[in-house]
Structure formats: structure tokens, C-alpha cells
A and B are shown apart, each in its own frame.
Chain A
Amino acid sequence: MKKKEQTTIELSGVDPIIDKYNAQQGSLISILQDIQEEYRYLPRDALEHTARRLGIPKTQVFGVATFFKAFTLKPRGRQLVHVCMGTACHVRGSQNVLEEVERRLALKAGDTTPDGEYTLETVNCVGACALGPVVVMNEEYHGQMSPLKVEKILKKKLA
């Protein structure tokens, strides 16, 4: 019963997105991006519904959803912490920054806190290379990071 209820809520957000792209197969990635923006992840029911509406096999939808890094099938936290692992950040010590963030949030990259508040993810480049290492919190960029600065920005932002 509970599951059905959940499905109704989810699908009400999905149809307008699919309609916006005229249910075109070529827009599958855009559709999934918008669904993810709406729900912060790709719910299984929404993917199945997308496959039905677009008239394509579920395998194709799941294939795309699992191929691209930007998609996640796991619910994300309300606050997103991205640590950039691009080359420019790497040569300036992003690995140490990541480990310090992991330690402070008691979270491994890719995971979400049990209360659903924070998700920590690594990204391969956010294009702010001149300021590496970069940490992006809720879309706000923090440049020239070091392990020592982690505490400060986490306190400021996540308090």
C-alpha cells in the first residue's frame, strides 16, 4: 500500500518533465537530468515510467542512468558536498582535503548521512582549476582549500 502511495507522488512530477521534451527518445538524458533535479536522485518507479512513456526498453533507461556519472540511483542528502579531484586540484593536494572532509563528516565519498542531511561526492573537475583544490558546497565554490581550512568551511556552511 505504502509503495503505491509513493508511486503516485513520484509520477506526478515525472509526466510534466517528459511532456516538456515531447516524450522524445533523444531527450532521454535531459529528461533524467530534470527528474534528478526534481527528486535529487532517480527513483526506480520514475525510471520505469519514463521507459513506458518513451516506448523504449527499461534496460535502455537504466543503461543510461547507470552509465553517466551525473546520475545517482540512491537518494541524496539535502546538502551536497563535492570535492573536486581534477588534475589541478590533485597536484595541489585534493586527496588530503577529501580525507579531512570524510573524517569531519564521518562519511565516505559517495555516501549520505543516515539522517539524510549530507551527501559527500567527488567530481572529476568543476572547471575552477586555477583555484584548486576546490570544494563545492551546495553549489558555492571554495577555492585554495587545505585540510586545515576544511573545519572552517564545514562549520560555516553546515552548522
Chain B
Amino acid sequence: MKISSVKELNDLRHKIQAKKDPDKSCITVCGGPGCLAKQCLDVRDAFVSEISAKGLKDKVKILTTGCHGYCDRGPIALILPQGIFYQRLTAEDVNEIVEETIINGRTVDRLIYTDTETGETIEKEADVPFYKRQMQLVLKDNRRIDPHSLEDYISVGGYLALSKVLGGMKPQEVLDEIKRSGLRGRGGGGFPTGIKWESTRNAPGDKKYVICNADEGDPGAYMDRSILEGNPHSVLEGMIIGAYAIGSHEGYVYVRNEYPLAVKNITIAIQHARELGILGNNILGSGFDFDARINRGGGAFVCGESTALMASLEGNPGEPRAKYIHTSEKGLWDKPSNLNNVETWANVPLIINKGSAWFSSIGTDSSKGTKVFSLVGKINNTGLVEVPMGITLREIIFDIGGGIPGGRKFKAVQTGGPSGGCIPESLLNLPVDYERLTEVGSMMGSGGMIVMDEDNCMVDIARYYINFLQEESCGKCVPCREGLFRLGEILTDITKGRGRMEDIPLIEDISGMMKDASLCGLGTTAPNPVMSTLNYFRDEYIAHIRDGKCPAGVCRELITFSIDADNCTGCGVCLKNCPSGAITGEKKQVHVLDAKKCTKCGICYDSCRFDAVKKE
């Protein structure tokens, strides 16, 4: 069926909504990346067979959705319409849920959320602290729709914004609305979206492109993946609206090939949209034509940079170019091109539907709306969180994230990926927005938030990022290529106990040069992880260099393992697990660790239950 007017789309929506019984039970199983890794599909399959075995197929709907966000508690199933949040499920739990909750209307207490600190049990998803303090706008529908169903998307108000735009707004009006909303790029740079659109619109030329950057190469961030997997039509709708405002008829989604499910879901979404006439010629009878294609990325971090991404779209190596002429004037195949990231596009329909005034009422003076962060690393509640701009780091990490596991002490939070920096405890009350994060030597980036505790070595973290960037630097410009190489050498020396005090000013010197002279954003921001750790954790660098010690006990050349005779019970676990045969001892006798044979892998340290293995 093809739809050829706004009215037909509205009729279709009403028909779908009328068909829906709001009281019908629905089991939504999270199929996000975190839950998938915890075998959530086994849980889903168990629900399917249990529901059909009980003859409830017509009464209960089972949805496999995109990411619900609370990865730590996966596999997750949300029971609607009650909103009961079942967590850490296995296939064995399914029978009881169906029997008790679906049939008898009772909650299975052992499977609901228990607060680790207070012991309080919470039944409803909306009351769980992790969700309660969030403001989910972009992620909201992830749990309500089947990402493969255009009908589902339409039923929750999907393509309403497109109807509004094509049903009576002029391109200039759309553009003004986005400008007024204050929406800024969610991919890292934070450039005002409306202004970007406007310059592409005003650039001379008939052929213009809109591009969705879904090359989420930033390690530690997976929000774009989750949006594209869970709600691909919201991205597509944003792109069509943007294309209309800009005057473009052709779009590309450049998506990481490492995300096969995202590739699949956006492919299906595009196909369904074409079949319904939401993509193609004369969309909704408006006379506006637009179609989108998918390109899979080749796995290069630098391709998140706009010019490199466009080079890659053209079938060339993803090397950036100097941007004397902006891509909004000469981008893909030298045509005016507008590139926004997944989360930015997904915000567009929200703004059109609810208005720029509503959107700009959320957030801070300079940063409007919400931002999705991936809260990972040494944190209790790992997952995706969507919060209003301006919330403090402390609220995100401690109120939503539930603090640090195992009673360990918070050390730093890294934001902005390899282009960002490490923020220490003293700055935890910092309100999160584009400017504040940049002021403290980090950046918003795409929204990775990696929490580190006292067991993480900040020199090692700096070396990690520099090694990463060294591998990912395209090598075109000298400051980035050689600067990273030298920084990598120096940092490796320091972590191996070969550092010299004069290395510190040298690091600062090279970093300054790279910041000033590199060609693209990868190089100019590359020193951030080093400079921020040097600024806030200089004593750790000095401990490595001057004292030959790694205070966090990470850098292998600077630590030794030994067995504490007082605590060792001779249980033999470390001996059994030691891969290098460095531990000897009879059963129930104190064991001995031969430092010469020890490879410092730490397996004994992790496996000892009596705190007998010491790391110094």
C-alpha cells in the first residue's frame, strides 16, 4: 500500500491505534547490545513458547525491542500495560512470570528490582532510581515498538512531524524552528544544527546531500547504535525533514559495519518507508522527493570526521581534508552536504512535534534538550542514560549510576572518547553541557562516560588513548602522525618505569604543537586525554617517574605480586589457575609465589578469596 497524502497517513494512524487494545498484555524483551550479550534471546524464545503453550497467543503480544538502557540488569522484560520491570532474567524464570503475572495478575517479587543499598524492592520501571531521574525523549519509544514495524512507529506518533512539515510548513519555517530550538550536534562538535542546515541550504548548487553519521567509532559509546537499532524510523524521519528544509533529495546513512543489527534495522526501515511512500517521489503528495541509501563503514575512527566520512562514501580511503571550504558548500562529490549524527537526527521530529519553545526550555543557556550518555566502566548501573543538559556529573554517576562497585573510591570520569579528557572528583558538581566540559579540558563528544576508580592508573589510561589514536590516525598530516608516535613512546616509557622528569614538559610541548597544527579534529583534540590526566593527576605521573611506582597497581613493570603467609589457607585456587607455574605449595600449606616466573597477569589476585595475594 502506498500513501499519497497527509490525510491518508493520519487515517492509517487512526486505524492502527483503533485496532490496538490498550489493556492487552505486552511483554517487551530488551534486545539491545547489552542484553544480547546476556543471552536475552533465550528469554524471548522461552516467552514465545510459553505463551503459545498456554494458548495465550491472541491475548499477549511479545516484542523484541531495542535497548531499554539498564544494561547492568539485563536481560530485561517490561510487562505492559502495568509497567512491571523484571530484570536479570533467565529462560527458567519465564514460566513463573507467565503463570503469575500474565495469568494471575500478581508480581513475581524475586525478579523485580531490589535496591542494592536499601534493600527496598521496586515493581514499576518508572520508580526504579536508574530511570526515575532520567528524562527520556529520544530513547523513550525504544521499549514500546518493534524496530522492524513501521506500523508500531506510526502508532506511537511516528511521522506526525513529517506530516506537519510536508502538510503546511515552508522549508524556511522548518529551518527557523530548528534554529530557535537551539539544537546542537550530538556527535561531538556541538555545532548548531539549524545554522549548519541553513548554510547547506544557502550554498549554490542544485544537488545537495544529507548524511547521517552512524559511524560510532568512539570506544565506550553505543547510543547511536541503540537508537538506530531500536528506533530507526525516528532517524529517518529526522533526515527527511532536514532534507526538506535544506532542499536535498538524496541521503546517506553511513553506519559502522561492526553493528550488524543496526545495519539490518535501518535497511528494513528504509525499505518499509519506501513501500509506504514515505521515501521516494512526491512524499505524502507534497511534491517533495527524497530517498536514502545505506553505506557501511570500514572500521576507521577517523571516518567520524565529516570530510573523512565523505571521502569514504566516495569510495576512497577515509582521509580528512582541510576545511577552508566547508562541507556545507563542497562536501560529498563536491556538492553541498549536511552531515548530522544519529542522535541529532532523532531529535528533529521531537522538536517539530512539540515546538522549539518546549525544546529550548530544557537544558542550560547554551546547550538545549537532552543528551544520551553511555555510563560504563567502574560503575554499578551500567547502561544508557538520557538526561537534560545541565545535570551534574555527580547526579549522573551517583544518583542514576549508583556509584562505584565494591566500595571502591571514584577517581575520574572520562568523557568525549579519545578526544576528551578525564575529569577528577573535585569537579563532580560540574553541570554537563558543551561549554563546561570543554572548560575543564574534556568535551561532550558523542556521549561516552567512562567511570574509573582507584584501581585505574591514569598514565595507563593516557597511554591507552594515545595508542588508540596512533593506530587510528590516517597519517596524512605530520603533527598528528608524528606527535602521536612520540607521545606514545614517552607514555610507554613512563608506564614501564623508564620515564624521566623532563618527559613531562616534553609531553606538554608536543601536545600544544598538535593542538595548533593538526589538520582535523582527531589531531587537534588528541592531546586531551594526556593533558587532562597530567593536569589533574600529575602526582601519578611523578610517582611513576621518580618513585618507580604505579599507585593504582596497573603498570606491570612497576608492581610485584606476593602471597601473604598470614592470610593464605593453602586452598590451592591460585596455584591451579596460575598460567605460568609461578605458585607452589602443598594443600593446606602456605603457598609461595616465585617472582621470577610471575608474568603479573593478576589471575591469582582476582581468584584468591582470602585476600592473601598482595599487589605492590
Contacts and interface: CB of A to CB of B under 8 A. Distances in A.
B450 A88 contact: yes
B85 to A, nearest CB: 17
Interface string B310-324: 001111111100000
B457 to A, nearest CB: 10
Interface stretch (B103-111, B371-379, B425-433): B371-379
Contacts of A26: 313-315
Contacts of A68: 297-300, 312, 317-318
Contacts of A138: none
B220 A125 contact: yes
B462 to A, nearest CB: 12
Contacts of A10: none
A146 B601 CA distance: 11
Contacts of B312: 29, 68
A105 interface: no
B34 A131 contact: yes
A59 B260 CA distance: 29
Nearest to B378: A91
B280 interface: no
A130 B71 contact: yes
B300 A91 contact: no
A124 B315 contact: no
A106 to B, nearest CB: 12
Interface stretch (A1-9, A73-81, A96-104, A112-120): A96-104
Contact of B601 (A29, A96, A125): A96
16 contacts: A27-B315, A29-B312, A30-B296, A32-B298, A33-B296, A68-B299, A71-B298, A90-B461, A90-B464, A92-B377, A127-B216, A128-B34, A129-B374, A130-B34, A131-B38, A131-B71
A70 B315 contact: no
Contact of B315 (A64, A100, A123, A146): A64
Interface residues of A, number: 47
B534 interface: no
A20 to B, nearest CB: 13
Contacts of B376: 87-88, 129-130, 132
Contacts of B218: 125
Interface of A: 24-30, 32-33, 60, 63-64, 67-71, 85-88, 90-93, 96, 99-100, 103, 123-132, 134, 139, 141-143, 146-148
Given A33-B257, A67-B317, A88-B376, A124 B468 contact: yes
Nearest to A21: B315
A129 B298 contact: no
Given A29-B315, A87-B377, A87-B414, 8 more contacts: A33-B257, A64-B316, A87-B450, A87-B464, A91-B451, A129-B221, A130-B382, A147-B606
A143 B602 contact: no
Nearest to B216: A127
B456 interface: yes
Contact of B602 (A29, A124, A131, A147): A147
Contact of A87 (B34, B256, B417): B417
A86 B464 CA distance: 10
Contacts of B577: 148
B452 A128 contact: no
Given A63-B317, A147-B602, A88 B34 contact: no
A55 B221 CA distance: 38
A146 B374 contact: no
Interface residues of B, number: 64
Given A64-B317, A71-B298, A129-B222, A88 B377 contact: yes
B225 interface: yes
Interface string B207-250: 00000000011111110010000000000000000000000000
A88 B316 contact: no
A1 to B, nearest CB: 35
A68 B319 CA distance: 11
Contact of A125 (B219, B260, B317, B456): B219
Contacts of A128: 33-34, 36-37, 222
A13 B174 CA distance: 47
A93 B456 CA distance: 9
Contacts of B465: 87
Interface string B280-318: 000000000000000111111100000000001111111
A92 to B, nearest CB: 7
A91 B412 CA distance: 11
Nearest to A142: B37
Interface string B198-212: 000000000000000
Contacts of B464: 87, 90
B550 interface: no
Contacts of A124: 217, 219, 299, 301, 468, 471-472
A68 B301 CA distance: 9
Contacts of B472: 124
